[in-house]
């Protein structure tokens, strides 16, 4: 029997979501095997994580054809159109800063120790649209602990690939490259914070941030940095791309807060991709019960 890997699967061959929900039938359809990623690690987990939302996931075609990834182009469809340029093998990640075990690690080094699980998370973008995505990956905390951050590590910063041949948007757009993001260590170590390596049971597409993408579900999408090549532990709050470029529009924290408007539009409502009517935006994107305590005593209008 021929079992295809995700790299061999065309978009129209992706399993229908109704079948995907029926896990036993799904696995039977695959001949009893989970789909495998390029690393050889299973991408379909042993069931939905307790962290997952019960919201219905956005259709696969919408997820992979409507993206914010300006390194691959500024239009929402441009990342998918240019995705073939982003070759993700070989790939390496540099880890440095305030940690006991820095180094340069291959993608295989990063992935192998981490069992893959599925988490269905909401993704809310600052422009007013949202999705619900069944990600595959592993907790960010599990990765960061491997490098043994020291007591001086108060923040962790991330950096996207800088390569104008593979990232055509870096040739034209005025933002200072490479794209950078950061989290406080308690945010990074929170059990909701996640490294995505796949979605809908297949290897993460280039336009969605392959091969490693951060997912912080209570924050706006621009915080979920894509195509990570560097992780650095630092003592001071790191500069992040959008908070440097447009500080009055995009803050360091990026927590979803319907009470804090973007200077050019309201954040009180959102349109879920695939739906006609708008819905109310939830504080912390619906994850307030889990994460609001991280910001106890903070002014969330000043720290937006």
Complete domains list, the chain, with CATH: 33-295 (3.90.420.10)
Q: How far apart (Å, rounded) are the C-alpha atoms in residues 251 and 302?
A: 9
DSSP secondary structure letter of residue 65: H
CA dist 161 → 91, 269, 302 (Å): 10, 33, 31
Can you give the pTM of this predicted structure? 0.86
pLDDT (0 to 100) of residue 47: 57
Nearest to 82 by CA among 251, 172, 207: 207
pLDDT (0 to 100) of residue 226: 98
For residue 130, the Cα-to-chain-centroid distance in whole angstroms is 13
pLDDT (0 to 100) of residue 8: 43
Residues 148, 231, 287, CA angle at the centre, nearest 5°? 90
Residues (pLDDT < 70) of the chain are: 1-48
């Amino acid at each position: 029997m021929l079992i295809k890997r995700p790299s061999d699967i065309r978009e129209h061959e992706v399993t229908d979501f109704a079948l995907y929900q029926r896990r036993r039938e799904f696995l039977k359809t695959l001949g009893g095997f989970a789909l495998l990623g390029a690393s050889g690690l299973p991408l379909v987990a042993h069931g939905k994580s307790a962290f997952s939302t019960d919201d219905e996931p956005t259709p696969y075609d919408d997820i992979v054809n409507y993206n914010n990834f300006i390194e691959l182009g500024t239009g929402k469809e441009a990342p998918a159109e240019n995705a073939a340029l982003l070759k993700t093998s070989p790939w390496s990640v540099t880890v440095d800063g305030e940690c006991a075990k820095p180094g340069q690690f291959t993608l295989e080094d990063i992935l192998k120790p981490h069992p893959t699980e599925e988490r269905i998370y909401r993704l809310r973008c600052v422009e007013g649209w949202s999705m619900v995505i069944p990600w595959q990956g592993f907790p960010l905390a599990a990765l960061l602990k491997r490098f043994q951050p020291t007591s001086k590590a108060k923040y962790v910063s991330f950096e996207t690939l800088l390569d104008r041949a593979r990232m055509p948007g870096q040739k034209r757009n005025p933002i200072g490259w490479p794209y950078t993001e950061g989290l406080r260590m308690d945010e990074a170590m929170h059990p909701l914070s996640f490294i995505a390596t796949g979605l809908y049971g297949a290897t993460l597409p280039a336009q969605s941030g392959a091969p490693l993408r951060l997912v912080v579900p209570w924050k706006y999408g621009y915080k979920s940095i894509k195509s990570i090549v560097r992780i650095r532990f630092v003592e001071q709050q790191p500069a992040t791309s959008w908070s440097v470029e447009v500080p009055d529009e995009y803050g360091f924290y990026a927590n979803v807060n319907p009470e804090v408007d973007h200077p050019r539009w309201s954040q009180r409502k959102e349109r879920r991709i695939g739906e006609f009517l708008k819905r109310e935006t939830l504080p912390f994107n619906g994850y307030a019960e889990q994460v609001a305590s991280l910001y106890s005593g903070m002014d969330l209008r000043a720290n937006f």
